């Protein structure tokens, strides 16, 4: 029945800080929509951003910055991703390690966004 994910919502402490991080570190594109709402676009998906304490309705039962684990796929070789993360001052907490993605084995790097969400950037092997 379900084909794909369209978007998910990140509740964040600072929309501007989150926009900067995901644009600079992961190459996502900023989108402004509705009445000044913000999102991050990548591929055919997006992250809508909710400011903690001023979330758009309806919302999650307990919207909390730093409560998400994300796995994002790249085509970049792991060495290039590692070099880029280092250039951006991002500390890799774990990796490269082999994990299992939705369609097969992946090689993953783990780090945190400004809210402490765990971000996994992986490439299919």
Active-site positions? 120
* Contact predicate 49/38, CB 8 Å: yes
Kindly give, in sequence order, each residue whose CB lies less than 8 Å from that of residue 97, ignoring residues fewer than 6 positions away: 107, 108, 110
For residue 104, give Cα distances in angstroms to 2, 12, 101.
19, 31, 5
Residues 81 and 25: their CA atoms lie apart, in Å, by 10
């Amino acid at each position: 029945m379900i084909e794909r994910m369209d978007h998910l919502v990140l509740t964040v402490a600072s929309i501007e800080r989150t926009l900067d991080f995901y644009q600079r570190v992961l190459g996502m594109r900023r989108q402004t929509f509705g009445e000044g709402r913000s999102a991050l676009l990548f591929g055919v998906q997006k992250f809508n951003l909710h400011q903690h304490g001023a979330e758009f309705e309806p919302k999650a039962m307990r919207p909390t910055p730093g409560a998400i684990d994300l796995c994002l796929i790249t085509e970049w070789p792991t060495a290039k991703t590692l070099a880029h993360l280092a250039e951006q001052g991002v500390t890799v907490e774990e990796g490269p390690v082999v994990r299992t993605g939705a369609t097969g084995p992946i090689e993953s790097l783990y780090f945190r966004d400004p809210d402490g969400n765990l971000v996994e950037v992986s490439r299919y092997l």
